Amino acid sequence: MKRITVIIMAGCVLPLNSQANDFIEQSTASLTSRNYYLDRNFTNNNTLSGAQDWAQGFIFNFKSGYTEGKIGVGLDIQGLTSIKLHADPDYLGSGLLPTNSTTRERSNTASEIGITAKLKYQDTELKAGTVHPWNPVIFGSVSRLLPQTFQGISFDSKDFDNLELTAGYIEHVNHRDSTNHEDLSNIAFNGRFKAASSDHFNYIGGKYQFSPSTQTGLYYAIAKDIYEQSAFTFKKTSALQDHLNLITDIRLWNSQENGQALAGKIDNTLLTANLGFNYHQHTLTLSTMQNFGSTAHPYLSGGEVLIFIDGWSTDFLNPKEKVYAIRYDYDFKSYIPGLKFMTRYTRGDHINLPHLGGTNLHEDSLDFDLHYVIPTGKFKGLGLRGRYGIYDNNFSQNATFKPAHETRINIDYTWKFK
């Protein structure tokens, strides 16, 4: 893979002298400032207080245009910086800052630069270097101070009517709280699998737009010697009557062990179904998520699963778990443009974790989210967001997920230079 990256890099650099105008004129540059406070206070643990950090992050993105010609070439640069504002070693790291696993000391500052070489033919792009895949089998998490990124090659095409294709070969990951490029590994939360690493991850898939309101997708991935996974998605918006729409979102994953099965046996089918009723500024969503098979749903370490049912202090992906959720969103655009509110209640039952207390365990979460983006004026685009969650379970105290009250506050602003 390194040889391919070098070839693409050379292809990007050689034509620049003669076609620099095209390369620069189509380029964009931006700098995002993110101030993030996260406090996860454990409510039922005698030895750990929780996880807590306050940090400032900066995300710089330069995306070049493409040179003229049948095959255009370009170059993207991403700079990531984190600055510690407050962190107490009595608390666990929250995923905002690089943390010493033994002393719990956080790095005062940390920075990284990612470079992506890219080629484009018509509406097809090939990228090598730092890549940001985003699909049901792999995507870079953006839920902390800095985004998770990957090292590898990605292919994306929109050259066919109503069809988008994607594929990739990933060798390393840079986690949200790290500047090191590491081997890929699996999530082993709650002792659901053995911790294992893989030297590459392959994926392929696509989505088809049957109509403006109906879309399906099909994907397949292999984390070498850990697991292989297929995913199917279906989304449709139906008008029930004036201003009342039904949003149907169904996603299905099937996973099993691969190769040497370094993480142990994997046998899971995960089904999620969401029905959203949208009326003017109101949206009410009823959701369920069902885990079938003998194990939990596997996914890559440091990331998340692309599901509508989400948990800030948990993932609701334990063996045999049956999850139900109700969510309400309101957009204050008629009264305070830019202000949005969300609340949801999620409960999971029938959890099979004998080593953590039983075969019929449960967990639940009540969450609130208030988000405001200034729509006009001198500070247009400044975003302020506050989130509060209450999470509980009846697992034993050595479980990864612990009952907690969680507060997240972040302030974001992006300067666009071009």
pLDDT at position 260: 97
Question: How many C-beta neighbours within 10 Å does residue 21 have?
Answer: 11
- Residues of the chain with pLDDT > 90: what percent? 89
For residue 154 the two structure tokens come to: 């990605």
Mean pLDDT of 383-392: 98
Q: How many residues would you count in the chain?
A: 418
343 contacts 358 by C-beta, under 8 angstroms: no
Torsion, CA 329, CA 335, CA 338, CA 344, rounded to 10: -20
**Of the candidates 311, 296, 290, the residue with the CA atom closest to the CA atom of residue 356:** 296
CATH 2.40.160.10 for the 2-416 domain, yes or no: yes
183 contacts 198 by C-beta, under 8 angstroms: yes
- Residues of the chain with pLDDT > 70: what percent? 95
400: confidence class by pLDDT, cuts 50, 70, 90:
very high
What is the CB-side half-sphere exposure of residue 130 using CA atoms within 13 A? 22
Quick check: 372 pLDDT over 80? yes
How would DSSP label each residue in 6-35?
A: HHHHHHHHTTHHHHHHHHHHT-EEEEEEEE
pLDDT at position 389: 98
pLDDT at position 20: 60
Burial 69-98, CB ≥16 within 10 A → b, else e: eeebbbbbbbebbbbbeebeeebbbbbbbb
CA distance 79 to 98: 16
Tokens 């010609």 found at: 69
pLDDT at position 48: 84
Quick check: 113 pLDDT over 70? yes
44: confidence class by pLDDT, cuts 50, 70, 90:
confident
Q: Pick left, alpha or beta for residue 192 (phi over 0 → left; psi -120 to 50 → alpha; otherwise beta).
A: alpha
Residue with the larger pLDDT of the pair 326 and 309: 326
Mean pLDDT of 282-309: 95
List pLDDT tens digits, range 73-103: 999 999 999 999 999 999 999 999 999 989 9
How far is the CA of 320 from the CAs of 108, 242, 313, 336, in angstroms?
42, 40, 19, 43
CA distance 315 to 188: 12
CA distance 337 to 57: 27
Model confidence, pTM:
0.92
CA distance 392 to 404: 7
pLDDT at position 6: 53
Domain ranges for the chain: 2-416
Question: How many C-beta neighbours within 10 Å does residue 298 have?
Answer: 26
pLDDT at position 22: 79
For residue 231 the two structure tokens come to: 């995913």
CA distance 96 to 83: 10
Q: Which helix (H) or strand (E) holds 62?
A: strand 50-63
Quick check: 3 pLDDT over 70? no
